[in-house]
Structure 1
Amino acid sequence: MRAYRFDEPNNLQALRARQEAVGAPQRGEVLVRVRAVALNYRDISLILGRYVWDTAAGLIPCSDAAGEIVAVGEGVTDFKPGDRVISIFHPRWFGGRVPKGAAMQTYGNGVDGWLCEEKVVSQEALVALPDDISFEEGATLPCAATTAWTALSGATPIRAGSTVLTLGTGGVSIFAVQLAKAMGARVIATTSSAEKAERLRALGADEVVNYNEVEAWGRHVRKTLTGGVGVDCVVEVGGPATINESLRAVRPGGEVVLIGFLSEENPGIDYFLLKGSNAVVRSIAVGDRAALEDLVRAWRGARLKPVIDKVFDFDEALEAFAHMQAGRHVGKVVIRVG
């Protein structure tokens, strides 16, 4: 089978396909024929040395995939050949407290990922993909969609009448808009252009703020768009360059959910702003297997469709990474395998 690896560290142009052997599934394992892989900003940050956890070199990249079972090992009861499946982001976190060492056992930074034609994994590292969700759509759900679901369904879950603030038009933010609207929430989104603003409104955003035109957008969201109250939840994907504005936008007792680090600059967090916000700041790492299963049920129940910016062929994987790095996409970038 063919698999992609980066031949050099810190070089996105060093992605190369090679022929590799794939083993037979052992007890409790299954062999998956990969049909689609979705990219995340994480996949780029791993290669460029910007990830929040340590990274092993030379691994197959990508954490998100959909495919079908082609063989099962002894003792497998969850799946049979022909079943459609998607990967879970943390292959050993099934629920409850995060297992020790989980950070270094995720795909692409601690173990080989999914940018390959076939892969052997534990049956517990997969969930079923319903027939009415395509492989390309299913591949978008394990990381970005599950992260958005975890952000909105924490200790104080979003419900009808809540107000949610999302940042930008990346995968997590788009999923957060769709899911929050399905929950009956009011959604305020930020973006950088009129064109992207229209896309966000079409997906259900009630208000859109262009941060290139409104520099103090957090204060604007709180004072102008929420009447001085603030939002119930900020899906914070920007990181150090946006956190202070997010703290200005959230209401006392609301949540700022730390997810991403799209910005490279790090001006630091204003401690007095953090303390004075009286908000809960919650850092999440995608979610467990149970969260993905819940997300798939909610996704189907609300009849939602993921926003896929572009689908590349397997031979175009390098172009897919370049497209992702350019940052002009809206929604998810997908690689079709086979």
Structure 2
Amino acid sequence: MHSETYPRATLVSGETPLTHLPSLSENLGINLFIKRDDVAGSPLGGNKARQLEFYLGAARAQGADTILITGAVQSNFVRTAAYAAASLGMKSVVQLEERVPERDGTYHTSGNVLLLRMLGAEIMHYPEGEDEAGADAALRARAETLRSEGRVPYVIPLGLENPPLGALGYVRAGREIVASGQAFDVVVVASGSGATHAGLLTGLRAAGSTARVIGSCVRRPKAQQEARIRRVLELFSELTEDTRAVAAEDVQIWDGALAPGYGQVGEAASEAMAMMAGREGILLDPVYTAKSFAAVPALCSAGEIAKGARVLFVHTGGLAALFGYQSDLEGGLPVLG
């Protein structure tokens, strides 16, 4: 089957911009472009809108009136799901997992959490942030209660045992990039749950692109993330034959900006935020896009991205989470040289 055969709720109207970044191109000695998926879908946008088109499409096809989803406290996926549900006349139940240690009150009340409350989502809490099976089980238990009350719930799962339906959204994105007529040597994207990374790689290859696709780790170190992407692709092959175009060596991972860990702001991420904001006036978030963009200057410095290469950075959004990191950013960002 192909991605076009699955039910889809339209949350992303039209193509997102793909534009040249002249200042950073000159600074890094490459031809750098950006895919602005930070403006995809809902207000404050983000890559999750593309994924949710297929989850919500499936939910509507099943007659669901309530969606349930789990993620970190400042999860953009959870916030975008609540928005999408509201826009389609559905209720949302969101579960917030404690994945990031020693956060202050701002982290637990502002940013995406504030938006969830404004969107009228039912909020659950889960104490363990690295227990995907347990988090999914808690959602399914809540879904059973809702079902007994006459509701029709649809669970958007997190664990690796589930088919990555949302990855279909990034097959579409990969095809969109190739259809733009722009050819790239390297494409850099955040690699977390794996759906965006695996879907994008699949879409690019299926559309004929030979670009090197680099997933920059935001949650797990390189070895663990590489294994995860391979597993996601294996599961994804059950949904679409497009994965046949992906070779084993196409899975490439970089984790140079992961430290000090998921949802924590390190030096590499701070410098990446300063570079993109100061030279191009584009904001990155500390959880995903700062850590993913950090791969570009680092790989340029290491000679792994050649001078003059055509490079695409996929901006996956997440800007609402900035406000949850106020205490980390109060001193400002590094001063550019």
Q: Does TM, normalized by the shorter one, top 0.5?
A: no
| TM bucket normalised to smaller | 0.3 to 0.5
Q: Which has the higher contact order (CA 8 A, sep 6+)?
A: 2
Greater C-alpha radius of gyration = 1
Q: Which structure has more helix as a fraction of its residues?
A: 2
- Which TM-score applies when normalising by structure 1? 0.35
Q: Select the structure that is richer in strand.
A: 1
